[in-house]
Amino acid sequence: MTKAFDYIIVGTGSAGSAIANRLSAKPENRVLVLEAGPPDYWWNWKVHMPAAFPYLLRNDAVNWDYRTEPEPYMNNRVMNCPRGRVLGGSSSINGLVYIRGHARDYDRWAQAGNRGWSYAEVLPYFKRAESRVKGANEYRGGDGPLRVSWQRSIPPLYNAWIEAARQAGYPITDDVNGYQQEGIGPYEMTSRNGRRWSSARAYLHPAMSRPNLTVETRALARRVLFEGKRAVGIEYEQGGEIRQARAEREVVLSGGAINSPQLLMLSGIGDAEELKRWDIPLTQHLPGVGQNLQDHLECYVQMASTKPITLFRKYNFLGKMTTGAEWLFFGTGWGASNHYEAGGFIRTRAGVEHPDIQYHFFPMAINPDGSQIEGGHGFQAHMGPMRPTSRGWVKLRSADPRDKVRLQFNYMSTAQDRQEIRDGIRLTREILAQQAFDEFRGAELAPGPGVQSDADIDAFIRAKAETAYHPCSSCKMGTDSMAVVDPELKVHGVEGLRVADASIMPDEISGNLNAPTIMIGEKCSDMMLGNPPLPRLEVPVYIAPDWATKQR
């Protein structure tokens, strides 16, 4: 062991950075944080410009750039699974959308035996994390590290989206993270002064001047070190050397839904037969490691625009240069927005208690990762089911930590998932057909007017749907035989080891994962410090009064 610390955190993403900040706030705690990727350099404009995030989804300099195995229900397509490999983890490469999920998601976790994780118990941690530019209230925080702001870049299209939903009979909500998630309305994003406000910027950088916090970048964790059943450190590779660091108190894995199960398996924690295949000595048989993998799948309805007001007018050399210059010198303009400035949540049918479809409205006809663009002005509504029933897995490719894992999500493997996204396409078309879009709406570009039957829509989804970048649940929290961590995020069967990231979610929440994962880090830090949990916040939550009998 080269150095000794009280705590070692593997990963600087949404949860890891929050934990590092809270633990190191006590001067007596010696904290080491390991990040496999580089620093989030100030000059890397692709990281810091909100509008540039699509470039990061294809940039292996700051991205693990994972690929799935051929997905059997998606025409055997090999699909992308980008994950952040940089200070801030995926919060440094994501789309910046700030969404917490629905209250019922967390109540469902608690009802499954995860004490302490109901909405009333997690809401205080969401509030503690957040500094909302629009102001605090009983649902929202006002003085936390994470800056949550908003932007309005192309008001006519966003206003048309919201008005069209109203015309279609859906409720309008001014805050999908407050009292009422259900409905269509504006979105907020994690930015400050026009720049991305990742978990590294919010939590880690302010703490890096503390003498008791050590942050090592380009440090690839190879395995957790054990003495018997107790985790006592981490072996990692840095600069071509194999190093070890000792943890006197605890090790926390915050590598995310792909890397955390990989590191557990490399450390001998997982299915005994699977580990035997790679000659990895068994530390603890936990068959759930790497199982239960989930993700949000997303598709879109694209329309041509009859007016030249979309992002396409900036999608040329001169437009990019002027946008970049305004952002660089003033932190304003179209570069300061992620352009997911509106969206919403709806229910696909009667009998669904809370929304099962999420929207991200985007003022351009383009693939989410920017890899393909329609040849003209257009706009689109991204749409995807919120609580997928398809389940996948993460498995080792070898015992070499540098080898990327094998992973498969089994997207669209269940009839329910297929029905929900099929219904979502039809409901989206209905919204876009409303009068509010009459002055902007041209021809339907995708799926296309000829795609109407169930079979045709299913074929379009199999060919075109992509990840919404929300993998989770591969080290699920619970007490059953497939659970990996308990409600205090301690790994079952061993001591001194926790997992705190999106992998511990028992199932997918109804929304984007950055905000919930930061909440997980906040809550985990209190558990580790032995602090009493923050007091419950009992607040009303909107549920459509006629949800059992009406779709809207």
Which residues are catalytically annotated?
470
Can you tell me the distance from the alpha carbon of 222 to that of 263, in angstroms, rounded to the nearest whole number? 7
Tokens of 198: 């990742």
Can you tell me the distance from the alpha carbon of 25 to that of 357, in angstroms, rounded to the nearest whole number? 40
For the chain, helix, strand, coil in percent to 5 are 30, 25, 45
Can you tell me the distance from the alpha carbon of 172 to that of 186, in angstroms, rounded to the nearest whole number? 9
Nearest to 492 by CA among 500, 482, 484: 484
Q: Give the strand pairing for 297-305 and 378-385.
A: antiparallel
Distance, CA of 417 to chain centre: 20
What contacts 202, CB < 8 A, 6 or more positions away? 17, 145, 146, 147, 190
Residue 327's CB is within 10 A of a number of other CB atoms, namely 23
Nearest to 302 by CA among 429, 424, 115: 429
C-alpha distance across the termini of the chain, in Å: 61
Contact 188, 342 (CB under 8 A): no
Q: What is the CA radius of gyration of the chain?
A: 22
Can you tell me the distance from the alpha carbon of 319 to that of 311, in angstroms, rounded to the nearest whole number? 10
Nearest to 176 by CA among 420, 440, 511: 511
What's the number of CA atoms in the CB half-sphere (13 Å) around residue 133?
Answer: 15
Nearest to 79 by CA among 298, 282, 243: 298
